[in-house]
Structure 1
Amino acid sequence: MDSTPRNPTGSMANAADQAPRTLVVGIDVRCLTDPYLRGFSRYTVRLIETLSRRPDVNVIAFTDADLVHEVRVPVVRFAARREIIREQVALPRVIREHGVDFFLCPTNRGLPLVAPCPTVLTLHDAVEWDAALVDPRRGRSRLRFAYASAFSLAGASLIITVSRASADAIRAAVGVSEDRLRVVHEAADARFTPTADVRDASILQRLGISGDYVLYVGGFDKKKDVPTLVRAFAEAAADGVSLVLAGRITDEAASILQLADDLGIGEHVHMPGYVGDLDLPALYRSARCFVFPAIAEGFGLPVVEAMACGVPILAADAASLPEILAEGGRLFAAADVAGLAVLLRDLLSSDHARQQWSIAARSRAAGFSWDATAAQTEAVLREAAATTRRNVVMSRLRRLLQARNWAS
């Protein structure tokens, strides 16, 4: 019979008591039902990969539809006709049935208000609460987002965000207290390196890209401010250099192509569409430089990926970008066409400058790692346990009532 006391005081018992036990971590992967991997989805995929490799963590993925992107962990389906029932009733039920110790929603919303275990929300930014950056045609979807976010913010034991700048923006936008926020940076996947691959040339050929080019990777929504880049590229007038804008083709993308035509540079602007992770490294490392003009950004993963590939970086001095780029590249005033044009001319005309900023980019990128992200995320999950034990229902209801100020 085991004679170990239930409340041990001996040194051996204390050591055993302090050893971390294996966690069963549930992760909401509904974002992986979309064929296009953008920021949230790529964060989710990498987090699952690295968390599941940790010695004291078992990961289970939860979804309400078939996944387009593979995850190498057990996958659990849950279903109900209405979204609110799926999220607030069906999801907590399957979490309980599968013995989940902690549940993480990595995509700004999706948590049940009351769950059978501690919950953590990753809130990447506060853009959805900035009316100036959100398409006014999305009125109904914004209303759904507001109420789903109210439930998620109220239900979360702790909230992870991906930069200090985002933490400050979230506090200002929705009033989340500092003691509930934890900053955990993202990182570039290991495939993003400066080492050329024999397949690079064929990838570029398939994408229809040849010669020297300036690169942008990302969306074309208002917060990305791609028009500033297009105007600056036209003003820089670099001979023999094209502008490659890689991202899912949308109505906004079409308007950017029209702008390029209006500026007389349409034949020098190329949109290959969405480029998947297997092809992205070749696109980055073959570029003369990478430009990220976003005026609002939670983290800026393309910047870190480009740095990891050794590409010289120009980025707007907005939101998280100064924090993430630091000494790894050059900043320009957000929306400053003339200022960006000067930096482009300087960088494109000097091999020495490009080499200097390539070295700086690689050095800065080395400070980000998915292993560190996974370790810090696990620490937040374990911390959430103590946070959730006290006055769970009352604290969540209180936070939900407070959320009325920004959900209405």
Structure 2
Amino acid sequence: MLQHEYNVKECTAARNAFVPVIRATVDNVEVDIVFAEFRSIATIPDPFELRDDNMLEGLDEKSVRSLNWWRANEEIIHLVPDVENFRNTLRAIIIWAKRRQIYSSSLGFLGGVSYAILVAKICQLYPLALPSTLVKAFFEVFSQWEWSYECPVRLKPSVENRALGELAWDFIRNPKDLMQIIYPIHPHGNSSFNVNMSSLKILKKEFKSGYKVVSEIHNNEACWSKLFEEVNFFEEFQHFVVVTARAADDRRFRRWIGMVQSKIRILVGFLDSCEDISSIRVNTEHFSPGSETDNFVRRWFLGFVIRRRLRLNDLKSHFKNFRSNTVGAAKHFSFYQEDMELEAVYADRKQVEEMKKEQSQFEIPILPNTSAYCADLQPTASSSAETTRQCDDGAPAKVRKTE
């Protein structure tokens, strides 16, 4: 139904994902649609209070995970001291994250809920601060945060709910999670479980870079627009991996590219184990060649830095494992077809530039204009005092706190 709407693009159903979701772009706005089945309820009550944990009784696991997105966002609104300041700050942080290409949970970075929890944490720590101060505090606190299993980011204590069969969040059960940004509702899971070693390094780097920029802004040495400058991905790297997915028709294509994108972080893990590669980064934008003959083709680019001479045979073995893993997953969920193609190849910068010239232009997502947000972030003339405080989790934070 959505695919036939004139203002809907990029409509993809991820039926077999950890959280089943329909992703679509409606009027250039990215939308995620999730589903939950209430088998034990004959009629939907009004009001329907989904924040009540008891509403989860009798639901299957996928329905519970689907509701978590809405329940987490609703709970966050009830946990921040000033909703308007929270929303304005979160808008700025999400635009920054998209410009810096670190907004994608499926590709190993952070998604919307994780960023919302981080911003809400700052709002709790500095309840009187305005958005300009909260943005600065966001980068200062999380550029110094001790990202370890012993220091999770949480908005309230996790409590046991034995009636629903769920214990409070316990890092001992999840020691491999590199970042711990905990849902504020039952079940208290980790919203950042997809983060890997490479993406964690990039996130730390971007937090520190962001703090440097906002410090310049608060010292009147730069404008807010500098914070929202896009990362120059293709100029940053000399070496690339190009992942290309193809299918015969639109229906197969949508299912196939959803599976491929969910497995790219596994390819990153394979390449991370390669001794010749010192760092690797995924371009979170996907690319679709504009030719009519390439309607059902999508490409992703991964840039990497090498320590010494690169052995292409090592890369080819990782590419083969990546393809086998992805095809095997599609077969497991019974939708793989022989016309679903997947290849991963090495390319240098010159070859990538040629790929970009093959078509008139790649299809690139439209990012919002930041001028309005820059205006909203301008600090007021109200007095401020230098405040030093200690986060309750042990992370130091020095910010200008508006009184």
TM-score, normalised to structure 1's length?
0.27
TM normalised by structure 2 equals 0.27
> Which structure shows the bigger proportion of residues in helix conformation?
1
